[in-house]
Amino acid sequence: MSPAKPGPGEAPPPPAAADPLELHSARHLEFYDFMFSRFARRHMRALRVAEWGMPRIPDGPLVVFANHPSWWDGVAFMLLSRRLFPGRRMFIPMEAAALARYGFMRRLGVFGVEQDSARGAVAFLRVAGRVLAPERRDMLWMNAPGRFADARERPVPVAPGLVRLPELAPHAAFIPLALEYPFWSERKAEMLAAFGTPLPGAALQAMPRDQRQAALAGALAGTMDRLAGDAIARRPEGFRVVEQGGEGMGGIYDLWRRGRALLRGRRFDARHDPRA
């Protein structure tokens, strides 16, 4: 039976053996960076990185492993990687069935992985090993749990694929990334992020797998706990704004407020609480 033809306006799917490294397109990345940035500014108040949690970036390939609290994590990956890791290509594993619904992401470094199958595990490790080759400066970004998990879940789940990576790439650095999306004083949520201390792949490789899993989970949990404290404190001055979104109510109400401030000779501040 011949494969079904794509419908009007649909791009044909890539062949099953398509190489994620070859599919990666700088041109597509520029376009979707613009689109993701615009989308985040429209729906989030700001992307903020804790001052203590700005990334320390070693030479060589990197593995950034994050918690997975929200659908927004993929947008966070795009914005953070483009703004804080310039000149490095990012690759992201994603469940194959989900990626089938977002085919354009294959051009952005996202590659499909069959979950809960030996074939999927082998394919993931094969691609990851190439991304993290010693001569490269590419990055593998992944959600450590391999599933959605509340930011308060402890111990932090860590998928077996991440635990295996130091055996393939002892020369890589492993950087924990904590993500949270709390509501503070505005109608839009905050996108909060913090990077932890890089873990040398060689040190992780030297550990038995159970100890390695505990080390990865502990590094991520410690970063998450510290970010949670900053989120609870609601101190914007402790963060660096990476992307600023809209504030205030918006629409006709803020237009009226702006006009009233102009008539009174005052500076208009759309924020609900100017202190936060």
For the chain, give every domain's residue range.
20-245, 247-276
Q: Which stretches within the chain are classed as H helix?
A: 20-23, 26-43, 73-84, 96-99, 118-131, 160-168, 201-205, 209-233, 251-263
Q: Which residues, including other chains, have CB under 8 Å from residue 229's CB and lie 6 or more apart? A: none
The separation between CA 248 and the C-alpha centre of its own chain, rounded to angstroms, equals: 26
Report the pLDDT averaged over residues 75-101: 94
pLDDT at 107 over 80: yes
**What is the reported pLDDT for 61?**
97
The number of C-alpha atoms within 13 Å of 125 and in the hemisphere containing its C-beta is: 17
Report the 10 Å Cβ neighbour count for 35. 11
CB 182 within 8 A of CB 138: no
pLDDT at 89 over 80: yes
**What is the reported pLDDT for 248?**
56
pLDDT at 220 over 90: yes
CB 51 within 8 A of CB 202: no
Q: What is the mean pLDDT of the chain?
A: 88
Confidence of residue 44 (pLDDT cuts 50, 70, 90): very high
CATH of domain 20-245: 3.40.1130.10
**What is the reported pLDDT for 119?**
85
**What is the reported pLDDT for 12?**
47
Report the pLDDT averaged over residues 243-252: 68
CB 217 within 8 A of CB 158: yes
pLDDT at 30 over 50: yes
Q: Between 1 and 190, whose confidence is greater?
A: 190
CB 246 within 8 A of CB 222: no
**What is the reported pLDDT for 53?**
98
pLDDT at 214 over 90: yes
Report the pLDDT averaged over residues 207-230: 98
- Tens of pLDDT, residues 144-193: 999 999 999 999 999 999 999 999 999 999 999 999 999 999 999 999 99
**What is the reported pLDDT for 269?**
44
**What is the reported pLDDT for 10?**
46
CA dist list (Å): 216 to 15, 34, 57, 196: 35, 33, 18, 11
**What is the reported pLDDT for 259?**
60
